[in-house]
Amino acid sequence: MKILSMDVMSTGVIAYYVLVASRDGLFTPIVSGIETKAYSDPVPQAVILTAIVIGFSIQALMLVGVMKLARDNPTLESNEIEKNNTP
Protein backbone atom coordinates (compact mmCIF):
# COMPACT_ATOMS: atom_id res chain seq x y z
CA MET A 1 0.00 0.00 0.00
CA LYS A 2 2.91 2.36 0.71
CA ILE A 3 4.30 1.83 -2.80
CA LEU A 4 0.90 2.38 -4.36
CA SER A 5 0.38 5.59 -2.38
CA MET A 6 3.81 6.86 -3.47
CA ASP A 7 2.86 6.19 -7.09
CA VAL A 8 -0.41 8.09 -6.67
CA MET A 9 1.48 11.02 -5.11
CA SER A 10 3.97 11.02 -7.99
CA THR A 11 1.16 11.02 -10.54
CA GLY A 12 -0.53 13.87 -8.69
CA VAL A 13 2.64 15.97 -8.70
CA ILE A 14 3.12 15.35 -12.43
CA ALA A 15 -0.52 16.29 -13.13
CA TYR A 16 -0.16 19.46 -11.05
CA TYR A 17 3.03 20.41 -12.91
CA VAL A 18 1.31 19.90 -16.26
CA LEU A 19 -1.58 22.09 -15.08
CA VAL A 20 0.72 24.89 -13.95
CA ALA A 21 3.11 24.70 -16.91
CA SER A 22 0.48 24.53 -19.65
CA ARG A 23 0.37 27.39 -22.11
CA ASP A 24 -1.95 28.55 -24.83
CA GLY A 25 0.57 28.10 -27.65
CA LEU A 26 -0.35 25.59 -30.29
CA PHE A 27 2.70 25.70 -32.53
CA THR A 28 6.07 24.03 -32.09
CA PRO A 29 9.04 26.38 -31.65
CA ILE A 30 10.66 26.00 -35.08
CA VAL A 31 12.65 28.97 -36.34
CA SER A 32 11.50 30.12 -39.75
CA GLY A 33 10.72 33.27 -41.70
CA ILE A 34 7.01 33.13 -40.86
CA GLU A 35 5.49 35.65 -38.47
CA THR A 36 5.87 35.06 -34.73
CA LYS A 37 2.99 33.14 -33.13
CA ALA A 38 2.27 31.81 -29.66
CA TYR A 39 4.58 28.82 -29.31
CA SER A 40 4.31 26.03 -26.78
CA ASP A 41 7.31 25.46 -24.51
CA PRO A 42 8.96 22.02 -25.00
CA VAL A 43 10.93 22.11 -21.72
CA PRO A 44 8.01 21.13 -19.41
CA GLN A 45 7.28 18.16 -21.66
CA ALA A 46 10.88 16.95 -21.38
CA VAL A 47 10.85 17.40 -17.60
CA ILE A 48 7.58 15.48 -17.26
CA LEU A 49 8.79 12.61 -19.46
CA THR A 50 11.94 12.39 -17.34
CA ALA A 51 9.86 12.40 -14.14
CA ILE A 52 7.65 9.60 -15.46
CA VAL A 53 10.65 7.42 -16.38
CA ILE A 54 12.39 8.03 -13.05
CA GLY A 55 9.16 7.35 -11.14
CA PHE A 56 8.65 4.08 -12.99
CA SER A 57 12.20 2.92 -12.28
CA ILE A 58 11.93 3.80 -8.58
CA GLN A 59 8.62 1.95 -8.34
CA ALA A 60 10.13 -1.13 -9.99
CA LEU A 61 13.09 -1.03 -7.59
CA MET A 62 10.76 -0.76 -4.59
CA LEU A 63 8.68 -3.69 -5.82
CA VAL A 64 11.82 -5.83 -6.13
CA GLY A 65 12.68 -4.91 -2.53
CA VAL A 66 9.18 -5.85 -1.37
CA MET A 67 9.40 -9.17 -3.19
CA LYS A 68 12.67 -9.93 -1.41
CA LEU A 69 11.19 -8.94 1.97
CA ALA A 70 8.08 -11.03 1.30
CA ARG A 71 10.22 -14.08 0.57
CA ASP A 72 12.06 -13.72 3.90
CA ASN A 73 9.08 -12.60 6.04
CA PRO A 74 5.74 -14.31 5.34
CA THR A 75 3.56 -11.65 7.02
CA LEU A 76 1.61 -8.55 6.04
CA GLU A 77 2.40 -6.55 9.20
CA SER A 78 4.97 -3.89 8.37
CA ASN A 79 5.83 -3.36 12.05
CA GLU A 80 6.84 -7.01 12.41
CA ILE A 81 8.92 -6.90 9.22
CA GLU A 82 10.73 -3.79 10.50
CA LYS A 83 11.33 -5.48 13.85
CA ASN A 84 12.76 -8.61 12.20
CA ASN A 85 15.08 -6.66 9.88
CA THR A 86 16.44 -4.06 12.32
CA PRO A 87 20.08 -4.68 13.26
Q: What is the pLDDT of residues 75-87, one digit of tens each?
A: 878 788 788 777 7
Query: pLDDT for 25-73, tens place per residue?
Result: 666 667 767 776 677 677 777 888 898 999 999 999 999 988 888 888 8
Closest CA to 16 of 49, 53, 48: 48
In this prediction, residue 21 has a pLDDT band, given cuts at 50, 70 and 90, of confident
Rounded distance, CA 87 to CA 83, Å? 9
Taking a C-beta distance cutoff of 8 angstroms, is the pair 57, 44 a contact?
Answer: no
Query: What is the pLDDT at residue 24?
Result: 62
Per-residue pLDDT at 53: 93
